[in-house]
Chains A and B, each alone.
Chain A
Amino acid sequence: MRNYVVAGAAALILGTTMTPVFAGPFWVMGKVVKECYYQGVYEKDAVQVQCGSNSVDYGDDNKQILKQKQKAFVWYVYEGQTLQVQLGTNDVDDGDDNTQIIDQQQFMVGSPSSDNVQQMQVGKNDVEDGDDNFQKIEQSQGLITFGPS
């Protein structure tokens, strides 16, 4: 609990100094907030970020699989770039026999040159009060760019 308070306070402080569009979602996202924040989504020199969260609360025989894969062959990273970001969350709240799978892959070759996030993958499964559900998300990206633009 204390960690969440600290993370929330840090996010709030950062939220006053950073772009609002960034501050909003990360302030509310709970577990993912804490994990992704400290792993460097905010860090402007972050190259690869993976955030995965499985959560089962009050359920039986649930199966959650989260696979994330990143590859990047980048030889020039500009200041202010986050190259690859993967966020996947599974969440079951009060359900039985649910299966949730998120499989994310990213691939990048080249020399991105803008200040933007180059590749972003967001996947979320959510079962709340359900039985025998099966949910699966597969995401794959490939991007090849050469030379600064």
Chain B
Amino acid sequence: MRGRLIVLGAAVLALGAPPAQAGPLWPVIQLCFLSAQSTQCAFQIARGDRNTAFTRQHTEQTGHQFALTYQRGDDNWSSTSQDGTDQIAATVQVGNGNAASTYQEGEEQFSATVQLGDGHWAGTSSIGEDTATFVFQSN
């Protein structure tokens, strides 16, 4: 699971996050790599106007939860809910009017949503074990 988190962090940086964003965020993300039995990490970044991001993490087990939301543009909305253990959710929205919703409940779950452009909406729900969802929309 830790390897996945490292890959995710590297992927986020490689996806095009400008150095000005990667600078302050990356050191904080590294905190999530500290050896811990139970870890919850949530990061929300916003640029632009009237963005809304809501993240909820809940666990009663050992394991890790990682949620990343990055929004830049206008009128974006994102909601991420994680309940369980060993869960990764990443949402990146750049553009106008995008909306995204991610729900995870279970174990060993991975969800990624990337939206670039105007007017996109994406919603994913994962319940169970060993699930993976990936949404990529570009305009």
A134→B31 contact, CB < 8 A? no
Closest to B39 in A: A120
Chain A interface (Cβ within 8 Å of chain B)?
21-22, 24-25, 27-29, 32, 85, 87, 89, 104, 112, 114, 116-143
Which of chain B's residues have a CB closer than 8 A to the CB of A87?
28, 31
Q: Which of B34, B38, B46 contacts A127 (CB 8 A)?
A: B46
Does B130 reach chain A (CB closer than 8 Å)? no
Of B49-57, B87-95, B120-128, the segment with at least 4 beta carbons within 8 Å of chain A is B49-57
Give chain A nearest CB distance to B14 CB in angstroms.
19
* Residues of chain B having any CB pair with chain A under 8 Å: 24-25, 27-28, 30-62
**Contact check: which of A32, A123, A126, A140 meets B46 at CB < 8 Å?**
A126
- B interface, over-half SS: strand
The CA of A24 and the CA of B32, in the complex, are separated in Å by 13
Query: Do B27 and A29 have beta carbons less than 8 Å apart?
Result: yes
Given contacts A116-B37, A130-B47, A138-B55, is CB(A24)–CB(B24) below 8 Å?
no
Task: Provide the bound-state CA to CA distance between A125 and B24, in Å.
Answer: 12
Shortest CB–CB separation between residue B63 and chain A, in angstroms? 10
Instruction: Establish whether residues A21 and B33, one from each chain, have CB atoms under 8 Å apart when the complex forms.
Output: yes
Give the nearest-CB partner of B64 in chain A.
A120
Docked complex Cα distance between A28 and B36 (Å): 21
A130 to chain B, nearest CB (A): 5
26 A-B Cβ contacts within 8 A? A21-B30, A24-B27, A89-B28, A114-B37, A117-B35, A119-B37, A120-B38, A121-B39, A121-B40, A122-B31, A122-B43, A124-B42, A124-B43, A130-B47, A131-B49, A131-B50, A132-B50, A134-B53, A136-B53, A137-B55, A139-B42, A139-B58, A140-B57, A140-B59, A143-B37, A143-B61
